[in-house]
Chains A and B, each alone.
Chain A
Amino acid sequence: MRSPLEMFEGKFDHALLTTYSFNLRFFDEWVLPALWACEVRNVVVFVDPHQLGRALADPGSSAAGRSYHLVAAHAARRSFHSKVILLSGRDGARLSVSSANLTTDGQLRNVEVAAAFDSNLPGHLRPIHDAAEMFRSLARHAPEHAAFALHAALAALPPADETEKPAARVVHNLDQTLIEAFPAEGDVVVTAPYTDPGGNAARRLHALGSLRIIIDAREFAAPQSFFHDQWTVEPQAFEARLHGKAYWVRTNEQRWLMFGSPNLSRSALLATAADGNVEAAVIVQDESVTLPPPPGTPWTDAGDIAVEADDRYRAAQRETDEGAPGAFNAWEDEGLIRVEGLTDGTAVDWWTGETWTSLGVVASGALEISTLDSRPARLRAQLADGRIALAIVAQPARLKARLRARTGGRQADAASRLPLDIETVRVLEATLAELYALSELVAEARSPAPRVDPDPEADHGETRLTEWMPRHPEEEPRISSLYMSAWRSDPDALLALITRALRLDPQLANFEDHVASEHIDIEELDTFSGDESAAPVPEPTASATNRAALEKYRRAFDRLLDRGTEFVAKDSNPTLAAAAFQYLQRLVEELGTRTVNVDGQPTTLGDRSTLRHHSFQLLNGYLGRGDPDPICLPTARHHLALCLRDRDRLTSLQRERLERLAYQWAAELLQHESEPTPTEQETRIGLTDVNAWLAPFAQRTRWDDIARHAEELLDRARLTTDPYPILIGSAAFENRLSSPAWKLIAFAAPAGQATPAPFAAIVHNTHEDSHAVVHALVCAPKESLLHEAVLRRSDSHWIVHSFRCRDRVTLEIAGRTGPVDLERDSAARDLQDLDEAPAAVRKLAELIDRELAAS
């Protein structure tokens, strides 16, 4: 075992943890995501109050109090020193008892001693229930909300089996001293990093028979006198710091072993919590279970170990100075913050705006906060003895809700087994970072957490936005309300993706690559032939998975994107819809470009045709709202171009909708070129190509461009807008069927059909042998009609035809084949002049007469 955290595997619901020293960031960044990956949602951590005070000196934001209970454990007169982790839930229970604190050193650096138990293994229920009994005792010293959570965790334990032979027992000193658990006599071997100054515990153990103490020569701290007593001290050298504590006792009858948190000190071994520390340890009496000596080598340095240990001991005495901060418990209770362990009259500050600000004075064990416009998250109290005490303010309502809401099973699967390569994760995190930034922008003034607006009539836009997005990257995603309302029941990869649980690779902090480049002096560049650790562009390696796993996640992503599309299309908050649109399109891009190795073959994470469908649906949903945010337009532009490029792969219905979107939006999207654009790598399509795909659609929606197109078909082409848009010019054509007016009216269809007003094309025929002198087409969208008027050379009569014209597509058919495939609305009429023609055509009469007179 490399770390007790290694036992975090499986599906659980609850976690109870105890520790002496505690690193808040380590827990938030490393332990909590690992617990989430096991679907644990109810977490209670007990920490020594003085150590917690030190941990809280870092005022940065934390998930403590919101995502987990963090309790200043006042159960010990001296130090709260036990290191126990108990998981319970669907997969039963797991327990770790060790010497490892919840710090980087404890879990990842030191040589610690540990044992893990699993309720599914024979004999393991007993030690698990021993630990549970210890937690039950601790609940008596915890605030009510934490005690409630603790009991919920214990209720999920598998029942004890009194008949089975225990593999080990877990002991603590809440009621009885640990020394009472030792055999009455025997030869004792101990390893521990600390001892009490008087050697009381060592003396007591030596009295059992004999005592040999194995120490880490570089780290052991004790007064010099300790080395000159009756026992044997055996210094050893270790690769890492030896922090484990273990006691072997050999009697005539048995071998006895105890290990865990207790040091070789009076407070640990000879006292109960009422007079000393709180400790927890495992006792093994099974001959088949052994713990070898710690992995050291004989110490060979010439230095005087006793002197050095004495120096360290004195330094340690200085380090535990009286002025060190402590910690107290605090929690919200409607308009109050209740505090535990502070006397009335104590002045309390809260952390806001990067500094401590006065919050008030404790009265009746509470502080009034109803007048504040923010929720205090971190408190500092000035105690009567001049010391400082710090606290996290717990939010019991939120923690209870968390306890009730079971995490979706597949969500955690996504977190732990999602076949994403590291590049994908980077991009997803980067996307989230943008959302953080947006969130900060909106809600900066209300740091650290928004208060729910009690006014139901008020605009909830900002509140909802901040609910969704964590204020700082350190925080847990605040997705709950959105998750509940819009992403309900989704087996969502979303929450998993946006938690830091996906930080699976050490190179995530890729900014180091850039920094490495900046560190290189150009004089050194030539030497980069061997050590190329500064390589700025590491080759990505694809993750490996199998087809079934990939399909599973493809389905999960499909559902996620379907729900996302619905949200984007329907949510009343345009800002949120815009952010979701951006995020989801980015996700589509990533899924389409990132690959995993499936049975040895590189395969894209998403199925391309499915992703194309999603991309289109997102575009349709978002642009269909009609209120696009300018920041989304570059994304929309690129994806619209991509869809147009691949439109042959869409269904006919989708193609039709796509073209409608393109005609509606292309011109506007092209106008927003000055906005930042996604990089070509993200979309695999260059800006030039994007513009090329959109331009034909944009041209047909702008009358100036249509007029330019008319110049290619007609001589002396021009556009007039009175009484409505009319394209006029001349050309030579044999008969009405070959008139360029058909092509022209079809080309202008998107612009013309965008309003109910008529539009027209008039062509004067320069072919003197043709029967037609003038050929005019008038489209009247309001009536869904296309009128054709031909001035006959032989008698100067107008022949007027009317056809049904439902939409742009009808006109495009006319553009290709003339009137042949159009449905007649009425029979052709032979008119002496246009005054008798339909209204829309009648309006052309004056214009045509003028033109004819001029010619």
Chain B
Amino acid sequence: MTVEFGQPVWTTGVLGRPSALDDLGIEEVGGGLLRRLLPGIIQNTPNAGYYSVYPYLLWKWEQLDGDISRKAFERFYRRQECAFAVACALHSHRGGVGLSGLNGGDAGGKAAQEVKAGAAVVDLDRMAETYMDTPLGGYGLFYAAALQDARLVRAGAPGLVDKTTEHGAEVAAAFAETFERTRYYREHFDEGPVSAQVLRELGEAVCLCTVPGRSDHALLLETFFGEPLTEPAWEDRRQSRVESLCLFLEFHGQRPPGARADVGGWRRALVDPRFSDGTPWETSHEERRSAWRAYQCREAAVLALTTLWSLYLLELQDRARATHAELRTELTSWLKEEHLGFSPQATVSEATGLASEALTPRERLIAEVEPLHRKWGEDPRRSVATALRALLALRRDIERDVPGFSELLDEGGRHRWSLAYLDRWFAARESGTTVQAFGDLIDELHHQHVRVALSKVRIPSARNLRANKGRWRDPFCFAEDNEVLRPLRRDVPFWTGARFQVVNQLVWTLGLIDVPRGESSLTELGREYLQRYAHA
């Protein structure tokens, strides 16, 4: 018992280090949409090669009659991942590109440097002890869930090792054709230090950049594209993935020279289907592109809302202590006609029309909000106006009923500020002034944060307090007592990356585009796949 009855005490408090993500609880929705639009590919899985390597390790372990406990698998796994990391780090990649997302890349890179400095062997077993904290390294950290979604792996029961699916086993066997011809496999697979030359040869054979033309290439392409599947649940995912990948390929295939080839260009094209020089983007997957447009509109709203929230906290930090009412008054005073393009006293209805008009065509909306991601604090007054204009303008997009788009408008619902809810929220204030609605919005963000932060902490019951004696993390951005707020932690505006970098590198490793960054163009294989799946 920690309560000594009858004894007066000073309470020691419970909350400690301020720490949390997604302080408004609205950022997760974009990630969820991306996982639906591109099943099997997440932000941390930019290398198609791992879709062979990891199934191979699971499959091989089974072939070797390895124990089904995950613990037993770890030692085997960690050595192989280390070997792979060093081999890739030693390899000069195709086209001289720099490759991102090498799991264990830090440790592998260091070992490679030592080799380049003259080390003759790499002690893989020692390296395996520390190269990553997560027991199953890059697989456990990033790829496991993606591989399950890609129909390659089936999760094992808690504590047991995962298994490959039938398709995963085929991919693994195809990878084995190349891998098992290497000297590393034949002579050093199980244990012991390995010579640098052997690891170099391994890199030549199976580095993440060597997928095109390799024995598992065709099956990897089938993993991401493939033929229609009989099981509807998998087929839905496959179709969604194929169509989304085709949108990326179309973007690179149709983009005129000189048009923006970066993530900004991609985002703009998603909301307004044309390239930065005005050339229209023709697609064979109109409905899927509309779904991506819904995603991007949602993310524009998230960026706008998190910008307002970040500015609120910034102002609180500047003041060191303030009431919410003071912060609200301050932020609403920043709304100026010169930034908004209309009077703050205009009704919400009028402001919606004017903001929408100002941000037409819609690529202007992305162009306007994009700088908020990095430069939101440079001119807070302008940032506030930009965010509000964007939120108002988005209402016009929401009104249009478009297949693929409309279905996703309520993603996140009321509690995560879906686009549909945002529209309803403004509609309820249609006849009020913009500045009044903005003040209400600041109130809402404050309340939203409190709701979200509260959900992140366990109930301080006697049992929980006893069981968790240390300081609990403090998920709040501010302390609030007797009406006064005191800053604890800042936040920054955020939107998800639209999978642009990830997919570019992934389709490059598959040999579908010529470079993973910058002015990418389709390879012949890329054109072939785009044509083949034009009407998938």
Contact = CB atoms under 8 A, between A and B. Distances in A.
Interface of A: 1-9, 20-21, 23, 25-26, 29-30, 33-34, 37, 51, 54, 57-60, 98, 100-101, 103-118, 121, 123-124, 167-168, 240-241, 243-244, 246, 257, 259, 282, 284, 289-292, 294-295, 312, 315-316, 318-321, 324, 353-355, 416-417, 437, 472-474, 500-501, 503-506, 508-509, 511-512, 514-523, 525-530, 532, 534-537, 539-540, 542, 593, 595, 602, 673-674, 676-677, 680-681, 684, 686-688, 691
Given A103-B481, A536-B145, A503 B22 contact: no
Interface in B1-38: 2-15, 20-22, 25, 27-28, 30-32, 34-35
B107 interface: yes
Contacts of A7: 3, 5, 462
A500 B451 CA distance: 14
Contacts of B463: 9, 37, 416-417
B109 A526 contact: yes
A2 B467 CA distance: 13
Interface string B126-151: 00000111110010111011000000
B316 to A, nearest CB: 13
Contact of A291 (B8, B140, B456): B8
Contact of B154 (A57, A315, A517, A680): A680
11 contacts: A6-B462, A34-B460, A59-B447, A103-B481, A111-B12, A168-B6, A244-B10, A319-B484, A519-B494, A537-B144, A687-B234
B480 A525 contact: no
Contacts of B109: 526
Given A30-B454, A108-B15, A113 B6 contact: no
A33 B9 contact: no
A295 B10 contact: yes
A284 B8 contact: yes
B23 to A, nearest CB: 10
Given A108-B13, A113-B9, A23 B460 contact: no
Contacts of A319: 323, 326, 483-484
B21 A512 contact: yes
B11 A506 contact: no
B11 A2 contact: yes
Given A526-B102, A540-B158, A2 B31 contact: no
Interface in B412-463: 413-415, 424-425, 428-429, 443, 446-447, 450-452, 454-463
A144 B133 CA distance: 61
B456 A509 contact: yes
A9 B144 CA distance: 42
Contact of B6 (A107, A112, A167, A674): A167
Interface of B: 2-15, 20-22, 25, 27-28, 30-32, 34-35, 42-44, 46, 100-107, 109, 131-135, 138, 140-142, 144-145, 154-155, 157-159, 231-234, 321-323, 325-326, 413-415, 424-425, 428-429, 443, 446-447, 450-452, 454-465, 472-476, 479-484, 486, 494, 496-497, 501-502, 505
Contacts, number: 324
B2 to A, nearest CB: 6
B1 to A, nearest CB: 8
Contacts of B323: 319
B145 A537 contact: yes
Contacts of B155: 680-681
A532 B67 CA distance: 27
B141 A536 contact: yes
Contacts of A109: 13-15, 474, 479, 481
Given A101-B481, A501-B459, A677-B233, A526 B451 contact: no
Nearest to B421: A354
Given A512-B21, A512-B22, A529-B132, 16 more contacts: A111-B10, A118-B6, A244-B10, A315-B321, A315-B484, A355-B428, A472-B415, A509-B452, A509-B475, A515-B22, A515-B28, A525-B142, A534-B141, A537-B141, A676-B233, A686-B154
Contacts of B157: 593, 684
Contact of B132 (A54, A284, A503, A532): A532
B104 A602 contact: no
B134 A525 contact: no
A427 to B, nearest CB: 13
Nearest to A243: B481
B21 A21 contact: no
A593 B155 CA distance: 13
Nearest to B134: A532
Given A1-B2, A103-B480, A111-B13, A508 B455 contact: yes
A527 B105 contact: yes
A294 B10 contact: yes
A58 B447 contact: yes
* Shortest Cβ-Cβ A-B pairs, 4 listed: A526-B105, A105-B481, A355-B428, A511-B28
B10 A5 contact: no
A740 to B, nearest CB: 31
Contacts of B145: 536-537
A734 to B, nearest CB: 42
Contacts of B14: 2-3, 107-109
A595 to B, nearest CB: 7
Interface centre among B13, B134, B135, B142 (most CB of A within 10 A): B13
Contact of A1 (B9, B322, B497, B501): B9
Contact of A526 (B34, B100, B443): B100
A354 B424 contact: yes
A528 B141 contact: yes
B8 A289 contact: yes
Residue among B15, B464, B481, B497 with most chain A CB within 10 A: B481
B5 A116 contact: yes
